[in-house]
Amino acid sequence: MAYTVVFVHAHPDDEALLTSGTMADLALQGHRVVLVVATDGAAGLAAVHASRRDLAAVRHEELEHSAQLLGAAAVYWLGYGDSGLNAEVLPQPDAPMPLVYAPREEVVGRLAEILREEAAAVVVGYDSNGGYGHPDHMAVHEIVYEAAAAANVPRILEATLPRDRLARLAHLVSWLRFFLREFDPTMFDDAFTSREAITCTVDVRHLAGVKRDSLRAHASQASGGSVPRTVALLLALPLWLYRRWFGSEYFVERGADAGATSIV
């Protein structure tokens, strides 16, 4: 039986970082994989793009390319503004409305319409921490639950990471001195999800190459700023290491038993 699984992400490149292996795996199994991205991601740094509008256009193209690599059957770009890591992007007359300032009923209504039209069997959003606390990710967490309820989607999953694994990665990253300027190794203490709360772990080691290609499609995120970007760092890893570190993807389904290995 083929299902439609809708992945809702906050920014272009979040799909590559969190759920790309699962998306590619489902598409290969014949399921209909749909990608919804809420914002244009134009608050991200990128050295080569002078204007915000240029950057949004580039990120849109990159997203389409990534979605194609993952076998997504449809991509919906909601086109809200990226609210920034500290919700510092305020509404401007000639820029898209930052997601956190957009009327919530409107955003929920638009997502619910997509879920109905696609007859989604499963919708995937984020954990309640919004991963590492980005306001757009926290908004997506709430929007997905509300829209899924409105559209009667039978199953809701939260894409996440086990926080102990992240803490180890963060330690390694700082050891490699590739850290971001504001990097604080304790920032993951309350981020994402404890390992005990994860209900589904999908083995995507065989798709490490596709995962990395999907991330590579977001080339604008690998440059810009005065410090090496996380994306550039990840792309520089050899494939065997990429496979080892990113060979599993993690989900939480409220009320489900732990130990699932597939989200459908």
According to CB under 5 A, which one of 14, 15, 213, 249 is a site residue for Zn ion?
14
Report if residue 218 touches Zn ion, rule: CB under 5 A: no
Q: Is 225 left (phi over 0), alpha (psi -120 to 50) or beta?
A: left
113-148 core/surface letters (b: 16 or more CB in 10 A; e: else):
ebbeebebbbbbbbbebbbeebbbbbbbbbbbbbbb
Q: Among candidates 74, 148, 155, 157, which has minimal Cα distance to 112?
A: 148
Pick the closer one to Zn ion by CB: 8 or 151: 8
Helix (H) or strand (E) holding 7: strand 4-9
Q: How far is the CB of 125 from Zn ion (least distance, A)?
A: 12
Stretch that binds Zn ion, among 14-22, 55-63, 180-188, 208-216 (CB under 5 A): 14-22
Gap between the Cα atoms of 201 and 88, Å rounded: 34
Q: How far is the CB of 116 from Zn ion (least distance, A)?
A: 25
Report if residue 15 touches Zn ion, rule: CB under 5 A: no
Tokens of residue 239, six digits: 């494939």
Q: How far is the CB of 232 from Zn ion (least distance, A)?
A: 16
Report if residue 118 touches Zn ion, rule: CB under 5 A: no
Pick the closer one to Zn ion by CB: 11 or 32: 11
Residues in the interface with Zn ion (CB under 5 A) total: 3
Tokens of residue 262, six digits: 């597939």
Q: Among candidates 17, 10, 62, which has minimal Cα distance to 229?
A: 17
Q: Are 83 and 10 in contact (CB under 8 A)?
A: no
Stretch that binds Zn ion, among 8-16, 30-38, 144-152, 242-250 (CB under 5 A): 8-16
Report if residue 11 touches Zn ion, rule: CB under 5 A: yes
Report if residue 10 touches Zn ion, rule: CB under 5 A: yes
Q: How far is the CB of 18 from Zn ion (least distance, A)?
A: 9
Q: How far is the CB of 14 from Zn ion (least distance, A)?
A: 4
Neighbours of 191 (CB within 10 A): 19
Q: How far is the CB of 169 from Zn ion (least distance, A)?
A: 17
Pick the closer one to Zn ion by CB: 132 or 178: 132
Report if residue 161 touches Zn ion, rule: CB under 5 A: no
- Token look-up 């256009």 returns 57
Q: How far is the CB of 99 from Zn ion (least distance, A)?
A: 10
Residue 100 in 3-state DSSP?
helix
Cite the beta strand spans of 14-121 per DSSP E. Answer: 32-39, 74-80
Report if residue 212 touches Zn ion, rule: CB under 5 A: no
Residues from 31 through 70 that contact Zn ion (CB under 5 A): none
Which residues make up the interface to Zn ion (CB under 5 A)? 10-11, 14
